[in-house]
Structure 1
């Protein structure tokens, strides 16, 4: 299967004092929720000469009122809600610039905690064995970050649909448009999230998410395209096309008590060829890995 991430369901950051881990849909209304995770992990950077993003201290905050909600880098307003279906207007920081700049909000408030369990090379060998393909011996022409013009932060806004069904299954769709005139295009995110609990381990919650990120040609071209504004030879110019990247995410959280829990997160996103064909991009996957403890205030 090919990937995506970003994304996204809204993956529930449970506060066990009020929401037991067996209920992934439990979100206290009208209260701020804060937590901080301490551990070891990384988000791999697919760009040439791009530094991987270490995950050591990961803060998280959210607020869900009757209509307004805040979830880390996202702000929303729910204008229609019936039973298990809701429609919201939402605005959030676009994640793509986080691979170009270390101190980006998406690298601090990490919505999806992934890298390989072993080394990156070991994980690539496993994936190659599954895919039945080996390395590529063809000559690769690369463009590094220092050779291209700065890519700016982008702010997106649009529609979010949440549908809860069949024992807390959660399907989410977002359709967003850039609103601060950075790339002036669209992107969409969809995800299906399913939590699992086990009677033998009553304080454990396992969540599996499959999803995909779609980017319009305008967004791909702005972040991964190469043109006359960049400091490279003309033969390296690249014009981006629309992309669809699937992902798979696994989160296991075991609660010691109402405040402390042990968390393991694994995610792999498979990048579309319209991204990996760019001379800026070195890897065809983005991995996220994190293991540590989380304290909910």
Structure 2
């Protein structure tokens, strides 16, 4: 399960494509790839280990209107040479930080550095159970996405709401993309921001009274905007083999950085290796 959660972060970076393929696809196009190399995902949560992988599969399929890009599902509502509008579903990445490292292994008391004098004193023969583990579920988001195509860059925006009933929050995403191609390979660049509303932020990054092991009143967290930059470099070796390097850096929003569950202002995800396409 750890590996599957890492895929949700790394897979959007990993599909090998030439520059012209980054701009457009044709109905019926599909590809399955397996990359061998080194991938890592930093976890901004306090006292959690980063996760690494050496094998990274990826896949896509584009029909007349329906398409699949790894864990992203989409349906094209409208498309012309300069604009496309899609119904789209995608995993929410916040939940991955709480799932992949093993639910039940991290106690909030350890995060906060509680000392023994702050917990109840046990009477002889009494056993005091530790505070519950910090548990959050992964959610799946769905909504409308639109992309405006220009000669200089592609502008994509979308609003996605939790359709799994985990937190009932929403995200607003905005990104700029640029594809550069040469005779020897292709480079994809992307920069953008993701606004996460208060319901989403509070669910994932606020603590629960029961997680303290003692009564406490907590203030709800406010909305936050994460900013990121991403790069994907593909260098074909043969018709089936491609050298791929990917990197994504995310700057966390203020209310997320202020959470007691978080001890980092940002995090990296990346992979370098050789991909074989079927």
- 1:294 corresponds in structure 2 to 275
1:66-125 deviation line (CA, Å, top 9, x unaligned)? 111111111111111122211111122222111111289xxxxxxxxxxxxxxxxxxxxx
> If the length of structure 1 is used for normalisation, what is the TM-score?
0.75
- 1:166 corresponds in structure 2 to 151
1:279 and 1:238 map into 2 onto residues whose CA distance is: 12
Q: 1:227 aligns with which of 186, 198, 208?
A: 208
1:175 and 1:28 map into 2 onto residues whose CA distance is: 26
1:296 and 1:103 map into 2 onto residues whose CA distance is: 30
Contact 1:42 1:288 in 2 (8 A): yes
- 1:85 corresponds in structure 2 to 83
2:82 and 2:32 map into 1 onto residues whose CA distance is: 25
The 1:276/1:64 distance shift into structure 2, 3 A limit, reads same
**Alpha-carbon distance, 1:153 to partner:** 2.0
Contact 1:148 1:231 in 2 (8 A): no
SS state at 1:174 partner = strand
**Alpha-carbon distance, 1:22 to partner:** 4.9
The 1:22/1:89 distance shift into structure 2, 3 A limit, reads closer
| Residue correspondences, number | 245
- 2:135 corresponds in structure 1 to 150
Question: Which protein has the larger Cα radius of gyration, Structure 1 or Structure 2?
Answer: 2
**Greater RCO between the two (CA within 8 Å, min separation 6)?**
1
- 2:118 corresponds in structure 1 to none
Query: Which protein is richer in helix relative to its size?
Result: 2
SS state at 1:191 partner = strand
SS state at 1:100 partner = helix
**Alpha-carbon distance, 1:24 to partner:** 2.2
Structure 1 runs not aligned, ≥5 long: 1-5, 105-140
The 1:203/1:244 distance shift into structure 2, 3 A limit, reads same
1:275 and 1:249 map into 2 onto residues whose CA distance is: 21
Worse-superposed segment, 28-37 or 239-248 = 28-37
Worse-superposed segment, 231-240 or 53-62 = 231-240
Structure 2 runs not aligned, ≥5 long: 1-7, 103-109, 114-130
2:178 and 2:264 map into 1 onto residues whose CA distance is: 29
Contact 1:50 1:99 in 2 (8 A): no
The 1:11/1:194 distance shift into structure 2, 3 A limit, reads farther
**Alpha-carbon distance, 1:289 to partner:** 2.3
Q: 2:193 aligns with which of 209, 212, 222?
A: 212
**Alpha-carbon distance, 1:234 to partner:** 5.3
2:158 and 2:53 map into 1 onto residues whose CA distance is: 26
2:14 and 2:93 map into 1 onto residues whose CA distance is: 19
Matched, 1:239 2:220: yes
**Alpha-carbon distance, 1:41 to partner:** 2.2
